[in-house]
């Protein structure tokens, strides 16, 4: 079984066709970046992977679930195996840190209070929020709010984590901390897709790159940037930020 197996699929949002002839295979435990300019379909693609937006095609499986024939019960089961991290955190502002986590655990079928408390303590320790159980979201920094979002995504020990622009509202220092945390989660065996338009993210934490642009999903393969520490050849990180961003989002780089 693969984490994701899409063969000749098409994604639409309402009446708008977003991506056509999509082929993508992601192994269990693999990490990749989803890049492209705003409006090119990154968020739509992520919503499709969790069953929120239907798609058409020859084959579309996520963690063994067939997205082409997914019913309501199967969708709920699939969502328990996927952790989703949002750019805008999407926390419940009227509940404490533990209240936010308890809400998800209860909604996904956890009943024993002792088990819920233990799991909440585990994920808060994993993301570095020990002792914050009683804090309200507004008392947390932006980085801490996103750490809580990550903790929420990890509650059900997902096989796949989807992070949609997870550092989009964070300062550089907080962004670095969140990315390190996501990479660590991946290194512990979780498949990870990180949507981003920040080429510096990929430069610091290299992985496979897939680009959304021009209605197509293109696999760009491995590391795009030259790493002075690893001596790997590729697209040079010494080029300007604008040039690098264009390379990631332009459907025809080099033309």
Taking the C-alpha atoms of 139, 174, 198 and 160 in order, what is their torsion angle to the nearest 10 degrees? -80
**pLDDT over 70 for what percent of the chain?**
87
The predicted pLDDT at position 223 comes to: 47
The whole-angstrom separation of Cα 106 and Cα 122 is: 16
**pLDDT for residue 222:** 67
Report the percent of the chain where pLDDT is more than 90.
68
What domains appear along the chain, each with residue ranges and CATH number? 1-81+161-255 (3.40.50.300), 87-157 (no CATH)
Mean pLDDT to the nearest integer, 114-127: 96
Q: What is the mean pLDDT of the chain?
A: 86
Q: Output DSSP code: residue 41.
A: S
Task: Please choose, from the candidates 180, 157, 11, the residue with its C-alpha nearest in 3D space to the C-alpha of residue 82.
Answer: 157
Q: What is the mean pLDDT of residues 214-218?
A: 92
In this prediction, residues 183-210 reach a mean pLDDT of 90
Count CB-CB contacts under 10 A for residue 79. Answer: 18
Render pLDDT for 20-49 as a digit per residue (tens, 0 to 9).
999 999 999 999 999 988 888 899 999 999
Q: What is the reported pTM?
A: 0.85
Q: What local confidence, expressed as pLDDT, does residue 245 receive?
A: 45
């Amino acid at each position: 079984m693969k984490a994701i197996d899409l063969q000749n699929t098409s994604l639409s949002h309402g009446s708008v066709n977003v991506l056509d002839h999509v082929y993508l295979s992601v192994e269990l435990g693999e990490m990749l970046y989803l890049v492209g300019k705003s409006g090119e379909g990154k968020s739509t693609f992520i919503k499709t992977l969790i069953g929120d937006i239907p798609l058409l095609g020859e084959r579309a499986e996520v963690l063994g679930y067939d997205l082409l024939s997914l019913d309501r019960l199967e969708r709920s089961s699939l969502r328990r195996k996927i952790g989703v991290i949002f750019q805008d955190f999407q926390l419940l502002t009227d509940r404490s840190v533990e209240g936010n986590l308890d809400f998800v655990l209860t909604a996904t079928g956890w009943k024993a209070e002792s088990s819920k408390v233990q799991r909440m303590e585990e994920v808060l320790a994993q993301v570095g929020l020990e002792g914050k159980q009683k804090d309200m979201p507004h008392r947390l920094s932006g980085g801490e709010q996103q750490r809580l979002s990550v903790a929420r995504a990890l509650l059900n020990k997902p096989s796949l984590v989807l992070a949609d622009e997870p550092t989009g509202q964070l300062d550089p220092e907080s962004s670095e901390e969140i990315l390190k945390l996501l990479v660590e989660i991946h290194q512990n065996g979780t498949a990870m897709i990180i949507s981003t338009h920040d080429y510096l993210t990929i430069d610091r934490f290299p992985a496979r790159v897939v680009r959304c642009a021009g209605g197509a999903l293109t696999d760009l393969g491995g590391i795009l940037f030259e790493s002075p520490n690893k001596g790997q050849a590729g697209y040079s990180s010494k080029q300007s930020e604008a040039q690098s961003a264009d390379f990631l989002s332009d459907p025809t780089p080099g033309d």
